[in-house]
């Protein structure tokens, strides 16, 4: 127990990284970094292209300036000046497939890599930018593009890559710092927002579930639902309802358990009391008085039944009925017995009729059938008596028991001319504790009767009820004789 409590304690507070909060943090960081890469790479690629295009434009202007010189002849010094101003080493302009002009500074230049700016594929551009940034040592590169001022079809330049590298590094560092700062800010805001909107409410739900699970009988641990209209709000409200239901179920179970204990105690001591009563009544049967002789055996039989019943209840720990011990029961005699017992307690203004035919035999547990009929008869008598007590002018009461056999089923009807069953208790008439309408009733009688009849494979039903009276019908099927298993088409020996 302590072990499981500790374990669930660990589970309710997962480590920072295993919890929702940590997961949200890790995910935010990952996505921010991804966003970072997606911003940074295209930015430097674009910067490099723009930078080179700037050089191309300057080189073109330089070429045009050289073209404007008289006879297109420039001194070596001036040429170097112009090229230096444009930041390139060589410029060549072509028109109509022919090279028109070449400006070249002094000295040999070996072009190590050349790029065509007319190609606009992103991935190679990103790769080229990366290479330019990371390369070590001076490099001379060639660049080809369409002249921006339309002075020809094609312009080719050669230049030292070092200035480009410096500019790229400076720009890259700048954009890295800015985007890291921005991403961190956005990430932080996203993290805080997710935490507030999702993680915290989820943690509240979880902690509440764990706390409630530890002690579901504490009503103060039921979650207070918020007014949220999203899924979390729904979950809170559903959890609230579920916990309430569970609590009331537990309370009912506790009540029933307490009741069970009380019943056991009552049964126990009542059995002892009845046992002494039994001893005394045993002595009574020795008395010669004819009235005593008539009633003593009934008293003894009743006490025997009561003691047996209490013993059963104690043995099973609850009032579960033992399976019926079925036998052939002469119904008329049984009804006589039931009526005779009931008569003792019945006012003189009620007549009880036994209209059961002599020949009817039921296949049932004698004691249990006795209890079923006694309960039904007592209900009828009590109903009539209550009505008569409220209105002394009420008609004479009558309760009639009839029975008939249809094939293998015996149907017994108990009909009274009482006031009928109140409408509001009819739907749950056969449920324990649900239907007691009269004061002093527990609402168990019909539930017990129904259970006993069901154990016989039969049924008890309210046939009619109203101001003219009430009638209950009990149907009891005979036990089915066990069928012999034989092959289809096989003849039974008797048929042969
Ligand atoms: N024949 C009847 N006529 C009118 N009302 C009846 C009749 N039978 C049962 N009832 C009503 O149904 C209720 C339930 O009957 P049930 O036998 O289950 O419990 P109870 O008689 O109240 O208590 P218990 O039998 O456990 O002492 C009764 O309280 C009574 O109001
Ligand atoms: Mg009753």
Pick 390 or 440 by higher pLDDT: 390
Reply yes or no on whether the pLDDT at 5 is more than 50: no
- What is the Cα–Cα distance from 120 to 459, expressed in whole angstroms? 89
Reply yes or no on whether the pLDDT at 489 is more than 70: no
DSSP β-ladder status, 113-116 and 154-160: unpaired
Residue 181 phi/psi, 5-degree rounding, is -60, -50
Output the CA 428–ligand 2 centroid distance in Å: 14
Q: What is the pLDDT of residue 9?
A: 46
Output the CA 442–ligand 1 centroid distance in Å: 8
Output the CA 400–ligand 2 centroid distance in Å: 17
Quick one: average pLDDT of 131-150?
88
For the chain, percent helix, then strand, then coil, each to nearest 5?
Answer: 55, 15, 30
Q: What is the pLDDT of residue 296?
A: 86
pLDDT band at 3 (very low <50, low <70, confident <90, very high): very low
Pick 389 or 25 by higher pLDDT: 389
For 218, 262, 436, the CA distances from 251, given in Å and listed in that order, are: 11, 16, 21
Quick one: average pLDDT of 467-477?
96
State what percent of residues in the chain have pLDDT above 90.
40
pLDDT band at 438 (very low <50, low <70, confident <90, very high): low
Output the CA 437–ligand 2 centroid distance in Å: 10
Protein residue with its CA nearest to atom 19 in ligand 1: 443
Q: Give the sheet arrangement for strand 154-160, strand by strand.
A: 98-104, 90-95, 154-160, 140-145, 113-116
Residue 393 phi/psi, 5-degree rounding, is -85, 5
Coil, strand or helix at 457? coil
Ligand nearest to the CA of 430: 1
Output the CA 215–ligand 1 centroid distance in Å: 39
Q: Choose one of 319, 436, 447 to mutate for the ligand 1 pocket test, by most ligand atoms within 8 angstroms of C-beta.
A: 436
Q: What is the pLDDT of residue 412?
A: 97
Quick one: average pLDDT of 142-155?
87
- What is the Cα–Cα distance from 334 to 362, expressed in whole angstroms? 10
pLDDT band at 51 (very low <50, low <70, confident <90, very high): very high
Instruction: Read off the tokens for 247.
Output: 């609590």
Ligand nearest to the CA of 446: 1
- What is the Cα–Cα distance from 53 to 114, expressed in whole angstroms? 14
Q: What is the pLDDT of residue 127?
A: 92
**Token pair 């168990």 is at which residue?**
444
Reply yes or no on whether the pLDDT at 322 is more than 50: yes
Residue 471 phi/psi, 5-degree rounding, is -140, 130
Ligand nearest to the CA of 426: 1
Output the CA 268–ligand 2 centroid distance in Å: 23
pLDDT band at 495 (very low <50, low <70, confident <90, very high): very low
Q: What is the pLDDT of residue 440?
A: 67
Q: Choose one of 350, 427, 435 to mutate for the ligand 1 pocket test, by most ligand atoms within 8 angstroms of C-beta.
A: 435
Q: What is the pLDDT of residue 2?
A: 40
The 3-class SS string of 132-184 reads HHHCCCCCEEEEEECCCCCCCCEEEEEEECHHHHHHHHHHHHHHHHHHHHHHH
Share the mean pLDDT of the chain: 85
Enumerate long-range contacts of 468-473, CB under 8 Å, 24 or more apart: 468/417, 468/420, 469/415, 469/416, 469/417, 469/418, 469/420, 470/380, 470/383, 470/415, 470/416, 470/418, 470/420, 470/421, 471/413, 471/414, 471/415, 471/416, 472/376, 472/413, 472/414, 473/411, 473/412, 473/413
Protein residue with its CA nearest to atom 25 in ligand 1: 445
Output the CA 316–ligand 1 centroid distance in Å: 26
Question: Which of 45-49, 99-103, 155-159, 445-449 has the weakest average pLDDT?
Answer: 99-103
CA angle 23–26–30, rounded 5-degree value: 135
Contact assessment for residue 410 and residue 331, using Cβ atoms and an 8 Å cutoff: yes
Output the CA 377–ligand 2 centroid distance in Å: 8
What residues contact 167, with CB distance under 8 A and at least 6 apart?
47, 51
Count the Cβ atoms, other than its own, within 10 Å of residue 428: 14
- Residue 447 CA: nearest ligand 1 atom is 18
Reference 64, options 152, 158, 143; nearest CA is: 152
Reply yes or no on whether the pLDDT at 279 is more than 60: yes
pLDDT band at 482 (very low <50, low <70, confident <90, very high): low
DSSP β-ladder status, 469-477 and 459-466: antiparallel
Residues in contact with ligand 1 by the CB-under-6-Å rule are 375, 379-380, 383, 416, 418, 420-421, 425, 435-438, 441-447, 470
pLDDT band at 483 (very low <50, low <70, confident <90, very high): low
Output the CA 278–ligand 2 centroid distance in Å: 26
Reported as a single tens digit per residue, the pLDDT across 181-210 is 888 888 889 889 988 988 899 999 999 999
- What is the Cα–Cα distance from 293 to 354, expressed in whole angstroms? 24
Query: Which residues, chain by chain, have CB under 5 Å from ion ligand 2?
Result: 379, 445
Protein residue with its CA nearest to atom 11 in ligand 1: 421
The 3-class SS string of 353-412 reads EECCCCCCEEEECHHHHHHHHHHHHHHHHHHHHHHHHHCCCCCCEEEEEEEEEECCEEEE
Q: What is the pLDDT of residue 298?
A: 84
Reference 420, options 467, 371, 486; nearest CA is: 467
Angle between the N-to-C axes of helices 290-316 and 331-343, in degrees from 0 to 180, rounded to the nearest 10: 100
Pick 411 or 20 by higher pLDDT: 411
- What is the Cα–Cα distance from 403 to 142, expressed in whole angstroms? 117
Reference 139, options 110, 168, 171; nearest CA is: 110
Residue 352 phi/psi, 5-degree rounding, is -110, 130
What radius of gyration, in Å, describes the C-alpha atoms of the chain? Answer: 52
Protein residue with its CA nearest to atom 6 in ligand 1: 421
- Residue 380 CA: nearest ligand 1 atom is 1
pLDDT band at 450 (very low <50, low <70, confident <90, very high): very high
Protein residue with its CA nearest to atom 1 in ligand 1: 380
pLDDT band at 135 (very low <50, low <70, confident <90, very high): confident
Pick 9 or 239 by higher pLDDT: 239
Q: What is the DSSP secondary structure assignment for residue 463, as one 8-state letter?
A: E
Reply yes or no on whether the pLDDT at 145 is more than 80: yes
Reference 465, options 391, 415, 395, 427; nearest CA is: 415
Protein residue with its CA nearest to atom 31 in ligand 1: 437
Reported as a single tens digit per residue, the pLDDT across 396-408 is 999 999 999 999 9
């Amino acid at each position: 127990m302590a072990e499981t409590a500790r374990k669930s304690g660990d589970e309710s507070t997962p480590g920072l990284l295993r919890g929702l909060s940590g997961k949200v943090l890790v995910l935010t960081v990952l996505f921010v970094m991804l966003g970072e890469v997606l911003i940074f790479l295209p930015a430097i690629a674009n910067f490099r292209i723009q930078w080179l295009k700037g050089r191309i434009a300057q080189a073109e202007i330089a070429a045009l300036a050289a073209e404007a010189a008289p006879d297109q002849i420039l001194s070596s010094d001036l040429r170097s000046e112009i090229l230096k101003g444009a930041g390139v080493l060589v410029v060549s302009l072509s028109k109509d497939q022919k090279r028109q002009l070449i400006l070249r500074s002094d000295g040999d230049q070996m072009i190590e890599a050349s790029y065509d700016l007319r190609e606009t594929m992103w991935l190679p551009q990103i790769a080229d930018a990366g290479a330019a940034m990371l390369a070590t040592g001076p490099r001379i590169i060639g660049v080809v593009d369409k002249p921006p001022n339309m002075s020809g079809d094609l312009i080719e330049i050669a230049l030292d890559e070092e200035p480009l590298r410096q500019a790229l590094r400076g720009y890259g560092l700048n954009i890295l710092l800015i985007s890291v700062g921005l991403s961190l800010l956005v990430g932080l805001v996203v993290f805080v927002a997710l935490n507030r909107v999702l993680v915290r409410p989820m943690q509240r739900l979880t902690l509440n579930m764990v706390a409630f699970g530890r002690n579901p009988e504490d009503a103060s641990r039921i979650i207070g639902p918020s007014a949220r209209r999203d899924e979390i709000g729904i979950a809170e409200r559903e959890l609230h309802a579920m916990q309430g239901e569970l609590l009331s179920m537990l309370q009912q179970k506790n009540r029933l358990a307490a009741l069970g204990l009380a019943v056991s105690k009552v049964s126990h001591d009542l059995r002892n009391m009845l046992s002494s009563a039994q001893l005394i009544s045993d002595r009574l049967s020795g008395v010669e008085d004819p009235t005593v002789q008539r009633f003593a055996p009934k008293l003894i039989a009743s006490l025997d039944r009561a003691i047996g019943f209490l013993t059963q209840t104690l043995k099973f720990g609850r009032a579960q009925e033992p399976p019926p011990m079925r036998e052939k029961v002469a119904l008329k005699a049984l009804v006589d017995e039931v009526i005779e017992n009931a008569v003792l307690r019945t006012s003189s203004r009620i007549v009880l009729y036994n209209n059961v035919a002599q020949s009817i035999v039921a296949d049932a547990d004698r004691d249990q059938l006795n209890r079923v009929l006694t309960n039904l008869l007592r209900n009828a008598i009590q109903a009539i008596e209550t009505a008569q007590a409220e209105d002394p002018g009420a008609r004479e009461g009558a309760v009639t028991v009839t029975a008939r056999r249809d094939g293998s089923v015996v149907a017994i009807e108990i009909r009274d001319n009482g006031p009928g069953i109140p409408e509001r208790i009819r739907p749950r008439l056969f449920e324990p504790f649900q239907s007691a309408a009269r004061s002093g009733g527990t609402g168990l009688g019909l539930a017990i009767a129904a259970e006993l009849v069901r154990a016989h494979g039969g049924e008890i039903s309210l046939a009619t009820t109203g101001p003219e009276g009430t009638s209950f019908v009990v149907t009891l099927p005979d036990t089915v004789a066990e069928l012999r298993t034989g092959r289809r088409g096989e003849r039974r020996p008797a048929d042969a």
